[in-house]
Amino acid sequence: MLPVIALVGRPNVGKSTLFNRLTRSRDALVHDMPGVTRDRKYGDGKLGEKPFIVIDTGGITGGEEGIDHEMARQSLQAIEEADVVLFLVDGRAGLNPSDEMIADHLRRSNKEAHLIVNKTDGVDPDVAMADFHTLGLGEPIAIAAAHNRGVRLLVEYVLGGY
Ligand code: GDP
Ligand code: MG
């Protein structure tokens, strides 16, 4: 069984950008698992030494209704299926109430979760990271998915034990 990495976080933090980096695709190699909605995308991890599966999700905002509710349900399902959860936040936007809601859920689940601060390009990394320590998920890891910065190191780090 390949290790499964789930990408979760509120919408617009860069999950799909990271997904495409990890699968080395724009979208071409993204495939939907039979029987699941397209809000949960599975891809073959193609970065680093070890093969893995990566799941992209639509996002969680908290207090969801309608389509947002389905998106959140898919995200929670992805967390269930994952061996490792990468919880993405936006280093430019700073801490958001949705981030706290997701962190709460992850702290209560017994999943291995890593806090990933994305969009750290062009910002002071110490300032960008400072806010997120309060989420109680350990030391945040800085990346800039759009610039492929920190991505390979991240994969090697989280798959170290697999
Ligand atoms: P998702 O909703 O979490 O899947 O987020 P997307 O991957 O669709 O990205 C949302 C927006 O953030 C897009 O405009 C991306 O180009 C932008 N973005 C993603 N990663 C980075 C990054 O590392 N730096 C910056 N500056 N923008 C980014
Ligand atoms: Mg997306």
Of 118, 130, 59, 126, the residue nearest 92 (C-alpha): 118
ipTM, two decimals: 0.99
Mutate to test the pocket of ligand 1, among 10, 12, 13, 17 (most ligand atoms within 8 A of CB): 17
pLDDT (tens digit, 9 = 90+) per residue, 61-96?
776 667 677 778 888 999 999 999 999 999 999 999
What confidence score (pLDDT) does residue 152 get? 97
What confidence score (pLDDT) does residue 30 get? 42
Of 139, 11, 156, the residue nearest 129 (C-alpha): 139
DSSP state of 38: T
Compute the distance between CA of residue 66 and CA of residue 133 in angstroms, rounded to an integer. Answer: 32
Mean pLDDT of all residues in the chain? 88
SS3 (DSSP) at 10: coil
End-to-end CA distance of the chain: 11
pLDDT (tens digit, 9 = 90+) per residue, 99-129?
998 999 999 998 999 999 999 999 998 889 9
Compute the distance between CA of residue 115 and CA of residue 112 in angstroms, rounded to an integer. Answer: 10
CATH of domain 4-158: 3.40.50.300
Distances (CA, A) of 148 to 14, 76, 99, 120: 12, 27, 23, 11
Of 162, 45, 71, 70, the residue nearest 112 (C-alpha): 162
Is the predicted pLDDT of residue 56 greater than 60, yes or no?
A: yes
What confidence score (pLDDT) does residue 36 get? 43
Q: What residue ranges do the domains of the chain occupy?
A: 4-158
What confidence score (pLDDT) does residue 67 get? 66
Which ligand 1 atom sits closest to the C-alpha of 147?
Answer: 23
